Homo-oligomer: A and B are copies of this chain.
């Protein structure tokens, strides 16, 4: 059965950098499912009209169209129960909301100009307008303070480190969607920016390296920068 995943792409159509699309990429790989990736750009809303909304990821699986990364994860779990993706639904949901509302706003400030520079020209204009309105400052001004903001960014991962001190993955002995959510966020950065987020002696650094190496180095081999 044909399976297609619409993924946000940069000027280079192989630069697939959306953290939400990476959540789905990891979830598909976890379930050992293939999906053809179709590049999509911010300004191509018409290409997603069939899905009834304008955001990626969109997964088309045979006759079914599923949108929103969380709903896709639940759909995959229901349709392909093993291996389990959502072992602790409350924890995973908490991390999902934490990534969206805490981690992403902080991380975006560190890489927003770099993201812009990866985009196709039409997307650059769209991105600059919408993000500068959101931040109330130019992309250049936001990113200019990233060295000063890095310690606070790293501190956000304190509770993650507390978990990794006692088990190798947030999911336990093996990774699950809880890991993939945060790996997707960090892959968003790796795909778009050369900025180094973590010190090499940080447990998060080692966990990220193990996560990016999963599934034959799926994340490491994607178009991007060294992590």
Query: B-contacting residues of A (Cβ < 8 Å)?
Result: 88-91, 93-98, 101-102, 155, 158-163, 166-167, 170-172, 178
Chain B residues whose C-beta falls within 8 Å of the C-beta of A101 in the assembled complex: 155, 158-159
Q: A101-B158, A101-B159 are in contact. Are A90 and B93 (CB under 8 A)?
A: no
A159 x B91 contact (CB < 8 A): no
Main secondary structure on A side of the interface with B: helix
Which residue of chain B is the closest to A158 with respect to CB atoms? B101
A225 to chain B, nearest CB (A): 29
B96 x A162 contact (CB < 8 A): yes
A32 to chain B, nearest CB (A): 24
Which residue of chain B is the closest to A160 with respect to CB atoms? B94
Which residue of chain B is the closest to A99 with respect to CB atoms? B159
B97 x A159 contact (CB < 8 A): yes
A171 to chain B, nearest CB (A): 8
Q: Report the bound CA distance from A173 to B43 in whole Å.
A: 43
The 7 A-B pairs with the shortest beta carbon distances in the complex, nearest first, are A91-B91, A97-B162, A97-B159, A98-B159, A88-B88, A101-B158, A94-B159
A93 contact from B93, B102, B163, B178, Cβ within 8 A: B163
A–B complex contacts, Cβ < 8 Å, 17 sampled: A88-B88, A88-B91, A89-B167, A90-B163, A90-B167, A90-B172, A94-B94, A94-B162, A94-B163, A94-B170, A96-B162, A97-B158, A97-B161, A97-B162, A101-B155, A101-B159, A102-B158
